[in-house]
Copies of this chain bind each other. A is one copy, B any other.
């Protein structure tokens, strides 16, 4: 059994985690594009910090809120009956507000205006397919981890995103709240606001497909939450 944390703590964990995740994505993108002319190197400077911080954030906040940091993950958990509808809606709000706070934090550290609209075009069927696949893989990674190796989930998610930055043509946003937050930075990791809805739809679709396919593949299994998979009492 998990020790239950109350809803305020769970929402703060979601907001704080999403903020630090977005600060890492946006901040490392700004750092990278300032330091090099080589785009592959900039992407590497964006990838490694994102993968690393995910392992940390899921380990230290996962036992509190499940460390979704991502409406697509919350949607998958809702479909599997692992989170209540009201809590899921509150998670969504916390994730979006946290994500925006993350963009602001990154901008202030790098002496930019708090928010700016991105001009980075990310549109079209190939990009959308990339987001479907990216989110399908992310949700499948979490469901597979829950089924076979709960304590490894922080690593699995960090490594999956490390790979997905490179093998998907969209660099794998795979997260509607992060997509919204990245619409407000006109830097390496940005996305034009008008392109966000297409990404969000593709991401939700990928999550639903993952719930269906992995739901079959992993049966017979048991339902459990990320929180209980990661919770270990302090010694």
Contact = CB atoms under 8 A, between A and B. Distances in A.
B169 A48 contact: no
Within the oligomer, what is the number of copies of this chain? 4
A138 to B, nearest CB: 10
Given A32-B40, A56-B160, A169 B224 contact: no
A126 interface: yes
A12 interface: yes
A41 B42 contact: no
Contacts of A216: 9
A149 B232 contact: yes
Given A44-B44, A156-B60, A167 B24 contact: yes
Contact of A52 (B38, B140, B159): B159
**How many residues of A sit at the interface, in one of the four size bands?**
35 or more
A193 interface: no
A196 interface: no
Contacts of A129: 108-109
10 contacts: A9-B216, A28-B167, A31-B166, A31-B169, A44-B48, A49-B167, A56-B159, A60-B149, A147-B234, A149-B151
Contact of A49 (B150, B166, B224): B166
A36 B36 contact: no
A20 to B, nearest CB: 6
Contacts of A217: 9, 12-13, 16, 64
Interface string A219-232: 01110100011111
